[in-house]
């Protein structure tokens, strides 16, 4: 908790500093230096007061009607991220300029005006791009369909279809109406099995009842199975467990289960989230015990909130792992590497999409981009997704 608090304070100070740099540059050139400093500090601190109060008090935003999200919460989050991003780029430019030789020239006010106009333009473009990501790409999830073939697949699993949903993050950045749409689209696929891999609620236990009530509407003949994510612990794991006990969803915690009608054929293993080290490939304890839950005579499906488990699973009899946690990075710059450039790629080995083991090509993992978002309700080149997997015999 001390490390987390230090991280929050550090991020807060960095954001304030970046916004200060931006605001000071875009202010009219006629103002005195003192006036610019006072105004810049005031606005930078004021913009960041809302999230701090939100974290320290009963979340007021959580009580707002759903339509307020797009009229109040979304624009505020967009402005916060856009100003910090623009401030960062501007700071880089200013630092780069400071390293260049400075010829002795007369003061040219037009250059300062140009920098101010450029900063305003950059901020405007950032707001526009982020607004597109919030109001368009972050809307209805796309359906990612794939067929995975396995040698020796049991005849009862040939053509078996499962749907994977993860990282809903019920809270101020996603409405219950949106979650209901996700459930409706998943049910419309008429899957044989539905699996969930954590982070159902972002942090506020007030959302547990509404979110789990909607998840309980998921329908599949073989049942609905799930595991917990790190945000479910932040919300309150005891309250989450109590909530799921009131649903028809089977939650797995370092345990296994057999779906209805597929006993001895399909073995579902669920691993408990390590909670700590949320921004890295987390260390899982005693994986040998978990992987020994696998059965060499069955198709083994492992549910894990964190994708980092894939590295260790290569040595065990696991055919398919379904994971989430990374959100795919939320914002991806395409064309850089196989999966684009994203913040997730800076912290995690596995960010999104399908992975195959280099030791056994029939050991695979799919990392779902998830439904919800954190920090800002923005996605770019990284739409929310519902995953449908069809099993086939090779």
- Its domain, for residue 367, covers 142-393
- Cross-strand pairs, 175: none
Between CA 290 and CA 375 the distance in angstroms is: 33
Interval 205-254: pLDDT, tens: 999 999 999 999 999 999 999 999 999 999 999 999 999 999 999 999 99
Average pLDDT, integer, range 71-90:
84
Whether 214 contacts 179, CB under 8 Å: yes
Residues 348 and 300 in one domain: yes
Last residue of a domain, one of 113, 137, 161: 137
Last residue of a domain, one of 109, 137, 165: 137
Q: What percent of the chain has pLDDT over 70?
A: 88
Residues 69 and 179 in one domain: no
Last residue of a domain, one of 104, 137, 170: 137
Residues 248 and 264 in one domain: yes
Residues 161 and 210 in one domain: yes
pTM: 0.86
Residues 150 and 127 in one domain: no
Q: What does DSSP say about strands 161-165 and 299-303: parallel, antiparallel, or unpaired?
A: unpaired
Residues 36 and 13 in one domain: yes
Backbone angles phi, psi at 207, to 5 degrees: -90, -10
Interval 261-307: pLDDT, tens: 999 999 999 999 988 766 666 667 777 778 788 899 999 999 999 99
Return the CATH number at 296: 3.60.21.10
What string of DSSP letters covers 114-175? HHHHHHHHHHHHHHHHHHHIIIIITSSPEEEEEEEEETT--GGGTT-EEEEE----BBTTB-
Q: Judge whether residue 63 has pLDDT over 70.
A: no
Q: Judge whether residue 55 has pLDDT over 60.
A: no
Within 10 angstroms of residue 103's Cβ, the number of other Cβ atoms is: 5
Q: What does DSSP say about strands 250-251 and 224-227: parallel, antiparallel, or unpaired?
A: parallel
Residues 206 and 286 in one domain: yes
Residues 304 and 322 in one domain: yes
- Number of structural domains found in the chain: 2
Whether 377 contacts 138, CB under 8 Å: yes
pLDDT averaged over every residue in the chain:
87
Residues 151 and 91 in one domain: no
């Amino acid at each position: 908790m001390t490390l987390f608090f230090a991280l929050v304070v550090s991020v807060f100070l960095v954001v304030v500093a970046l916004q200060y740099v931006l605001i000071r540059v875009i202010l009219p050139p006629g103002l005195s230096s003192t006036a610019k400093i006072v105004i810049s500090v005031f606005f930078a601190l004021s913009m960041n007061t809302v999230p701090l109060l939100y974290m320290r008090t009963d979340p007021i935003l959580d009580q707002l009607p759903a339509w307020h999200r797009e009229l109040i919460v979304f624009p505020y989050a967009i402005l916060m991220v856009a100003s910090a991003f623009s401030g960062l780029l501007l700071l880089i430019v200013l630092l780069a300029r400071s390293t260049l030789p400075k010829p002795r020239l007369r003061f040219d006010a037009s250059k300062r005006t140009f920098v101010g106009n450029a900063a305003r333009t950059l901020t405007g473009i950032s707001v526009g791009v982020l607004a597109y990501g919030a109001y368009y790409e972050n809307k209805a999830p796309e359906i990612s369909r794939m067929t995975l073939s396995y040698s020796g697949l049991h005849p009862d699993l040939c053509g078996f279809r499962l749907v994977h949903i993860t990282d809903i993050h019920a809270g101020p950045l996603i409405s219950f109406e949106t979650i209901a749409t996700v459930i409706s689209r998943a049910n419309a696929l008429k899957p044989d099995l539905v699996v969930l891999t954590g982070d159902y609620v972002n942090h506020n236990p007030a959302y547990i009842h509404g979110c789990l009530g909607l998840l309980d509407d998921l329908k599949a003949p073989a049942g609905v199975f799930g595991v917990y994510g790190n945000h479910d612990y932040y919300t309150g794991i005891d309250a989450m467990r109590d909530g799921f006990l009131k649903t028809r969803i089977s939650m797995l915690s370092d345990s296994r289960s057999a779906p209805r009608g597929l006993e001895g054929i399909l073995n579902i293993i669920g691993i408990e989230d390590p909670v700590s080290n949320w921004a890295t490939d987390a260390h899982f304890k005693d994986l040998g015990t978990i992987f020994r839950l696998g059965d060499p005579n069955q198709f083994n499906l492992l549910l894990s909130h964190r994708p980092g488990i894939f590295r260790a699973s290569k040595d065990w009899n696991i055919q398919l792992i379904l994971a989430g946690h990374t959100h795919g990075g939320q914002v991806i710059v395409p064309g850089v590497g196989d999966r684009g450039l994203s913040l997730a790629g800076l912290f995690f080995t596995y960010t999104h999409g399908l992975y195959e083991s280099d030791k056994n090509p029939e050991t695979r993992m799919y990392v779902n981009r998830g439904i919800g978002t954190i920090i800002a309700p923005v996605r770019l080149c990284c739409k929310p997704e519902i995953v449908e997997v069809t099993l086939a015999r090779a």
